[in-house]
Structures are given as C-alpha cells and as structure tokens.
C-alpha cells in the first residue's frame, strides 16, 4: 500500500472521529430547510408545467379594408396558459406574438372602462374580468352581437353613445345651496336606492343581449334607461326635472318596449339590476299619469 493511500485513510479516520452527532435543534432546522427546498422545487416544476400548457382560442376576424379578409372567419391561436390568465391576456398574447393585425379595444384592464366587452363562449363578458381557467375550451371570442363590426372584435359604438346621451346622463337641479361652499346633501337611504345605477361602465353588454334592441334601433335600451333611473330617482333633482326625465323614457321606444326578459341583468358585469330599474320607472310613469277627478 502506498504512503499516500495510508495518509488518506488516516485522515478519513481522524475526520470520522471528529464528527459529532447533531443536536435535536440542528436536526429540526435541517429538516425545515429540506422541506423548504422541496416546496420550492415543486413550485418551480408547477410554473414550468404552466408555461408548457397552452389554451386554444378561436378569434373572430374581419377587415373590410383588406380583400382577403372581407369574408368573416375564425383564426385559431394556441396561447401559453398561466394561472390567473384572462381572455384579454390571451388575445393580447395572440396579437403580440402571432398576428399584430388582430384588433380589439382595451384600456384599464380592471373592469372599470368597459371597453373590452366581447361575446365569449356565447355570452357577453368583459375580457379583462373573464378567467380562462373557468371557460370550456376552445375559447370562442367574438364581437358583441347586434352591433356593426368595424374590424375583428371592434364594434361601432356610436349608436349606443347616442342612446345614452338621449336620456341626459348628468345631474340637473334647480335647487342649488345658497353658499358657494355648501353641499347639496343626499340622504343615506336615497344613496342606497340609486347606488347600483351609478356603477354602469358603458360597456354595452346589456344592449347587445337585448332582443328588443336588436330589432328596434330606436329603442333606448337597458343601459340608457337604467342611467335615467339613476338620475330620476335622485332626490337632489327637482320634481320638474324628474317629470322631464320620465317624459323621455316613457316615449314609444322607451320603457314600454321592455319585455322583461332579464337578459340584460344576467350579463351585466357590474351586477346592476337593470330589469328592476326599468320596471320601477314604468310604475313611476304610470303614477305620474294617473288623475283622479
């Protein structure tokens, strides 16, 4: 046996003799460290699997300005899936990585602006609010029905905005406080009454779902009528202003065209009880027209 081998053996014997058993505290710390490392590895593996997993989306395509795209069609994209991914995230990924001509509206991404309302798997929804994980695949994404398509997922909103403006969606009163710094107070009860009506984000989902609005382009529609409710029921507006608002909404193409189908209420992303507001305005209109003599 060589001298070198003998020295290594002797060194190993010395090292083994110097080693001491771990204390219970050290053992616990080592076990906790191993557990943390194992958990970290599992999380890393899960993230890797999520990156490798894809979701199939079918997106409506139409462009009247390009000859080969004037015939409506659906394009299929396979988008890498990540936990928490929304429909808006998916179409943005498809636009940024596969087809830069894919066109759609979006802005705040927090369900406040209402600009990314799509027809997703047969229902009006906000793209930024709709989780991919909660949908059946492939995910079918279309523009809002009953609206003229400008390009891909973008629809013409001019008519909707005109209908909203027709109900004068702004506060009006003839009873202003005397002092410049005095507040025009509102009771808690009245605020609760109109609170839901103030949540409208002008996304037009309710209008798109309404069969009456689809067949009558003069019908004010659920969103404008609910907006009229928000102001007509505000106690800070005078009685003459309330009468004026009721005259607007009780016209031929106003509240009386509603057939109480609840489709608008069912698709509202802000959970506004639109049908309830319309029915209450009907009652108010009847009461205003009742005369006893």
| In the block, residue with structure tokens 């066109």 | 103
38 in a domain, yes or no? no
128 lies in the same domain as 163:
no
15 found inside a domain: no
**259-278 as b/e: b if 16+ CB within 10 A:** eeeebbbebbbbebbbbebb
Report if residue 150 sits inside a domain. yes
Domain with residue 122: its CATH number is 3.10.20.30
Count of structural domains within the chain? 2
140 and 246 fall within a common domain: no
Amino acid 46: pLDDT: 66
pLDDT, residue 290, reads 74
* Shared-domain flag, residues 125 and 85: yes
Ordered per-residue pLDDT tens for the chain, 293 residues: 444 444 444 444 444 444 556 677 777 787 888 888 788 777 766 655 555 699 999 999 999 999 888 999 999 999 999 999 999 999 999 999 999 999 999 999 999 999 999 999 999 999 999 999 999 999 999 999 999 999 999 999 999 999 999 999 998 887 777 777 788 888 999 999 999 999 999 999 999 999 999 999 899 999 999 999 999 999 998 888 989 999 999 988 999 999 999 999 999 999 999 999 999 999 998 888 776 55
Residue 223 covered by a domain:
yes
pTM value surpassing 0.75 = yes
Together in a domain, 208 and 279: yes
Residue 28 lies in a domain: no
Whether residues 88 and 114 share a domain: the answer is yes
The alpha-helical segments, DSSP class H, found in 53-122 are 87-97
11 occurs within a structural domain? no
Neighbour-count burial for 86-99, b at 16+ CB within 10 Å, e otherwise: bbbbbbbbbbeeee
Alpha helix (H) residue ranges in the chain:
3-18, 24-52, 87-97, 158-166, 188-194, 205-209, 211-215, 222-232, 239-249, 263-267, 274-289
In a domain, 193, yes or no: yes
Q: Do 62 and 147 lie in a common domain?
A: yes
In-domain check, residue 40: no
Same domain, 133 and 162: no
**Domain shared by 284 and 163, yes or no:** yes
How far is CA 7 from its chain centroid?
A: 74
Q: What pLDDT does 6 receive?
A: 45
Distance separating alpha carbons of residues 279 and 255, to the nearest angstrom: 8
Q: Residue 162 maps to which CATH number?
A: 1.10.1060.10
Our CA dihedral for 133, 134, 135, 136, rounded to 10 degrees, sits at 80
Q: Are residues 148 and 236 in the same domain?
A: no
Domain limits at 228? 158-172+188-289
Do residues 203 and 222 make contact, with C-beta atoms less than 8 angstroms apart?
no
Give 165-184 as a 3 state SS string: HHCCCCCCCCCCCCCCCCCC
């Amino acid at each position: 046996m060589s001298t070198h081998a003998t020295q290594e053996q002797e060194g190993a014997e010395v090292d083994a003799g110097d080693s001491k058993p771990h204390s219970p505290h050290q053992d616990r710390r080592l076990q906790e460290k191993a557990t943390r490392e194992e958990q970290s590895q599992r999380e890393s593996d899960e993230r890797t699997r999520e990156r490798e997993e894809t979701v199939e989306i079918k997106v409506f395509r139409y462009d009247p300005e390009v000859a080969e795209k004037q015939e409506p069609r659906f394009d299929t994209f396979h988008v890498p899936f990540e936990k928490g991914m929304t429909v808006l995230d998916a179409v943005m990924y498809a636009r940024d990585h596969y087809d830069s001509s894919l066109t759609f509206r979006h802005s705040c991404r927090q369900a406040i602006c209402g600009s990314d309302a799509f027809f997703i798997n047969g229902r009006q929804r906000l793209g930024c609010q709709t989780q991919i994980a909660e949908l059946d695949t492939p995910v079918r994404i279309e523009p809002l029905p009953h609206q003229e398509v400008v390009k891909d997922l973008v629809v013409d909103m001019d008519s909707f905005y005109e209908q909203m403006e027709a109900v004068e969606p702004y506060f009006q009163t003839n009873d202003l406080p005397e002092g410049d710094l005095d507040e025009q107070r509102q009771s808690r009860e009245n605020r609760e009454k109109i609170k839901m009506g103030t949540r409208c984000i002008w996304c037009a989902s309710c209008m798109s779902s309404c069969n009456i609005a689809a067949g009558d382009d003069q019908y004010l529609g659920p969103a404008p009528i609910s907006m009229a409710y928000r102001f007509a029921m505000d106690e800070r507006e005078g009685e003459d202003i309330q009468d004026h608002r009721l005259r607007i909404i009780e016209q031929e193409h106003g509240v009386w065209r509603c057939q109480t189908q609840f489709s608008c209420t069912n698709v509202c992303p802000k959970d506004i009880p639109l049908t309830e507001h319309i029915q209450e305005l009907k009652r108010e209109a009847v009461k205003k027209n009742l005369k006893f003599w």
